[in-house]
C-alpha cells in the first residue's frame, strides 16, 4: 500500500552577507544533512546564496557572477544526494536583474522562478535593484552546469514523475502578501505544495500575522505550504530577521521554528498529500475555480519532471498507530517513522483553554439550535428519555440552557426515566438526581411489564437475549416518549450522538427517532468533555451537588443497558462490543472532514 507522504523541510542557514562562497558551503551542508534524514524537498530563504541585505551590492557584477558560480557549485556538490532543493539568488539577464528561486536536483539546475511582486514601500525598496517577473523577455535561460536551457518563469510546476500527487509551485516572500498570489494560480493548476522563499523582517506583532497568513493561505489553496525565512545572520542595518520558518497543511500548522532560534537547523514535517487531494475532491468550489482558471489560455503551466527518492513510509504506515509525536532534533534517527504529530482526538482540542472555549461554543450552538426550534413550533414543553448515561445527560443540560434562552420554566422539561431489565441502581439514581438538580420535572415509567407483555404477544422468550430482546425495550421507550409528547403538546429531544449514528448503534424506529436531536452532530469523544464542561460550570456557580452527579456519570461505563446487569454492575459495555470510540471518532473525523 502506498501513501502520498512528502517529507519536506525549511532551513535558515548560517550566512555571511555578500559572501557567496561561505553561504554556498552552508547550503550544501544542510542539503546533505537533509538527505541523511530522508528529506525529499528542502526550501531555503529568499536570496539565500548572497543574503537578502546586500543593498546596492546587488548591482555589482562581481556579486552577480559569484552568485551564479555558487549555484553551480551547490548543484555539483549535491549531485550524489536525492534532495530536491530550492535556493534564492539574484540573476542578471539581458533585460534586468531578477530576484529568483532556483531548483537544484541531482547535480542539475532544473528551473528558475523570478519574483512576481517586488515591494517598494516602507522599509522595502527592492525595485531599486530588481525587476518583477512580468518584465522578463525570455522563458528559458542557459546556465551551467547543465549546458542546456533551463525553464525560466512563474508558470512552472515541479512534478515527481513517480508520484503525480507531488506538484510544487513557487512564490517569493511578497508574492504571498498580495491579493492574488502566484500560488493561487499554481494550486488551481494542480500544485499540491507551495514553496515560499522569504526574507520577512521582524516587528512587533508580525510573527502572529505571518503565522495567520501562511495558515490561511494553505487553507485557501488547499496545499502544503513551506515558508522559509531569512535568519538572524542578515545585516541589521535597516531590519532584523528571525528565521521564522513555518510548514502548514490545509490550514493547520504542522511545524514552526522559534523566532531567533539557532540558524543552520532543519524544520522537518511529513505532509499527507493524499489528504490534500481528498479535500480538493470534496470541495466543489475549488474544482469550479480550477475549471475557470484553466479555461484561460494564458494559465498553462510548464511541468518539470524530477524523480524524488522513495520516502520509505509504505511499510511503516501499515503498522503505525495514531498519536505520532513530533521529532525536531536532527540527531534523531528518522528512518521510516513519521515525524509529524497526528492528533488521536481530532474533535477535542488538547489545550485546556482552547478546549473550554470549544465546549462553550458547541453548547451554545446546540442550545441556540433547539431554542430556534422551540420558538418556531410555538411549543413550551420538551420530553427527554433520561437514562443516567452521557448522551441523555448532555441532552438534558443543553435543553435546560435552551429553555433559559427562551425564558421558559425548566419545569416544562419532562425527564422520563424508564427502567427495565438492564437498568442499574447507579444510572437510575443519577438520572433521578440530575432531573432534580436541573429543575426539570421527573417522570418515572417502569417498562418491564409492557415489554414482557410484548414478548408474550410476539412469542419472544425472555431468556433469549437477542436483538429482539434489546430493540423491544428501545422501541417501547420511544413509543412512550412520542405519545407523552403528543399528550402535553411538546417535542421529543433526541439523545443519540454522531458516533452512534455513524456506526448504526441505535434502534431503528427506536432511539434513532426524535423531533430534534441535539447531539446528532456531536461525536462521543466530545460528549464526555461537554459534560465535564457543565460540571466545571456547576462548580463555578457553587452547585457542588450537580457537579458530583455529572462526575459520577462521567465515571460510568458507556452502555445501552438493554441486558440484565451482573449483580449491581453493568454487564453490557458498548466499547467491548463496537470497539473504542477513540478509534471510531478518529476515522470518522477524516471521513466527514
Cα 247 to Cα 9: distance, rounded to the nearest angstrom: 8
Nearest to 500 by CA among 486, 487, 514: 514
Peptide bond into 443 cis (omega under 30): no
Q: Quote the cell numbers at residue 297.
A: 489560455
Q: Quote the cell numbers at residue 20.
A: 557567496
Nearest to 49 by CA among 70, 29, 30: 70
Q: For the range 278-281, what are the long-range contacts, defined as Cβ-Cβ under 8 Å and sequence gap of 24 or more?
A: 279/222, 279/250, 279/593, 280/222
Catalytic annotation present for 317: no
- Catalytic option among 173, 359, 420, 506: 173
Catalytic annotation present for 46: yes
- Catalytic option among 10, 20, 54, 115: 115
- Catalytic option among 4, 46, 234, 470: 46
Given 3-state DSSP classes, what are the helix, strand and coil percentages for the chain, each rounded to the nearest 5?
40, 20, 40
Cα 275 to Cα 145: distance, rounded to the nearest angstrom: 37
Cα 83 to Cα 583: distance, rounded to the nearest angstrom: 36
Cα 570 to Cα 568: distance, rounded to the nearest angstrom: 7
Task: Let me know if 122 is exposed, middle or buried by CB neighbors in 10 A (0-12, 13-18, 19+).
Answer: exposed
What is the 3-state secondary structure of 137-191? CCCEEEECCCCEEEEECCCEEEEECCEEEEEEEEEEHHHHCCCCCHHHHHHHCCC
Backbone angles phi, psi at 91, to 5 degrees: -130, 120
In residues, how long is the chain? Answer: 593
Active site residues: 46, 115, 173
Amino acid at each position: 500500500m502506498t501513501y502520498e507522504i512528502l517529507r519536506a523541510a525549511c532551513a535558515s542557514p548560517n550566512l555571511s552577507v555578500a559572501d557567496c562562497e561561505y553561504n554556498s558551503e552552508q547550503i550544501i551542508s544542510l542539503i546533505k544533512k537533509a538527505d541523511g534524514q530522508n528529506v525529499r524537498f528542502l526550501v531555503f530563504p529568499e536570496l539565500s546564496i548572497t543574503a537578502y541585505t546586500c543593498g546596492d551590492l546587488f548591482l555589482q557584477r562581481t556579486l552577480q557572477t559569484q552568485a551564479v558560480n555558487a549555484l553551480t557549485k551547490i548543484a555539483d556538490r549535491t549531485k550524489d544526494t536525492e534532495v530536491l532543493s530550492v535556493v534564492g539568488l539574484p540573476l542578471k539577464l539581458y533585460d534586468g536583474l531578477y530576484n529568483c528561486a532556483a531548483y537544484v536536483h541531482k547535480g542539475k539546475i532544473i528551473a528558475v522562478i523570478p519574483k512576481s511582486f517586488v515591494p517598494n514601500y516602507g522599509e522595502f525598496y527592492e525595485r531599486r535593484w530588481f525587476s518583477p517577473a512580468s518584465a522578463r523577455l525570455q522563458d528559458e535561460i542557459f546556465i551551467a552546469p547543465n549546458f542546456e536551457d533551463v525553464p525560466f518563469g512563474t508558470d512552472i510546476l515541479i512534478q515527481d514523475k513517480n508520484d503525480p500527487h507531488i506538484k510544487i509551485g513557487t512564490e517569493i516572500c511578497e508574492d504571498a502578501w498580495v491579493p492574488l498570489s502566484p500560488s493561487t494560480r499554481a494550486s488551481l493548476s494542480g500544485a499540491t505544495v507551495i514553496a515560499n522563499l522569504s526574507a520577512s523582517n521582524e516587528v512587533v506583532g508580525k510573527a502572529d500575522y505571518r503565522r495567520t497568513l501562511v495558515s490561511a493561505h494553505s487553507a485557501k489553496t488547499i496545499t502544503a505550504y513551506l515558508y522559509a525565512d531569512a535568519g538572524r545572520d542578515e545585516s541589521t542595518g535597516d531590519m532584523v530577521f528571525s528565521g521564522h520558518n513555518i510548514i502548514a497543511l490545509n490550514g493547520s500548522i504542522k511545524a514552526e521554528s522559534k523566532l531567533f532560534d539557532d540558524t543552520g537547523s532543519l524544520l522537518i514535517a511529513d505532509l499527507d498529500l493524499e489528504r490534500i487531494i481528498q479535500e480538493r475532491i470534496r470541495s466543489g468550489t475549488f474544482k469550479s475555480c480550477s475549471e475557470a482558471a484553466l479555461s484561460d489560455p494564458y494559465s498553462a503551466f510548464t511541468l518539470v519532471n524530477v524523480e524524488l527518492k522513495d520516502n520509505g513510509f509504505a511499510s511503516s504506515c501499515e503498522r503505525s498507530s495514531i498519536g505520532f509525536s513530533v521529532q525536531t532534533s536532527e540527531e534523531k534517527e528518522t528512518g521510516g517513522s513519521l515525524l509529524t504529530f497526528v492528533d488521536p482526538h481530532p474533535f477535542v482540542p488538547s489545550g485546556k483553554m482552547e478546549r473550554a472555549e470549544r465546549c462553550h461554543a458547541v453548547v451554545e450552538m446546540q442550545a441556540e439550535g433547539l431554542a430556534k426550534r422551540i420558538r418556531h413550533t410555538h411549543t413550551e414543553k420538551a420530553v427527554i428519555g433520561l437514562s443516567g448515561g452521557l448522551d441523555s445527560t448532555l441532552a438534558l443540560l443543553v435543553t435546560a440552557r435552551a429553555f433559559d434562552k427562551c425564558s421558559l420554566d425548566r419545569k416544562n422539561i419532562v425527564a422520563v426515566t424508564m427502567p427495565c431489565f438492564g437498568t442499574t441502581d447507579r444510572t437510575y439514581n443519577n438520572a433521578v438526581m440530575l432531573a432534580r438538580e436541573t429543575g426539570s420535572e421527573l417522570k418515572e415509567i417502569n417498562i418491564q411489564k409492557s415489554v414482557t407483555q410484548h414478548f408474550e404477544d410476539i412469542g419472544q422468550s425472555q431468556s433469549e437475549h437477542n436483538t429482539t430482546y434489546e430493540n423491544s425495550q428501545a422501541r417501547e421507550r420511544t413509543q412512550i416518549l412520542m405519545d407523552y409528547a403528543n399528550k402535553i403538546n411538546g417535542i421529543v429531544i433526541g439523545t443519540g450522538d454522531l458516533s452512534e449514528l455513524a456506526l448504526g448503534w441505535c434502534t431503528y424506529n427506536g432511539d434513532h427517532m426524535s423531533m430534534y436531536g441535539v447531539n446528532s452532530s456531536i461525536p462521543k469523544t466530545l460528549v464526555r468533555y461537554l459534560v465535564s464542561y457543565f460540571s466545571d460550570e456547576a462548580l463555578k456557580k457553587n452547585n457542588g451537588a450537580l457537579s458530583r452527579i455529572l462526575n459520577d456519570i462521567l465515571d460510568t461505563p458507556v452502555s445501552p443497558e438493554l441486558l440484565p446487569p451482573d449483580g449491581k454492575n453493568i454487564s453490557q459495555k458498548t466499547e467491548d462490543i463496537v470497539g473504542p470510540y477513540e478509534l471510531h471518532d478518529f476515522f470518522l473525523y477524516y471521513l466527514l472532514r
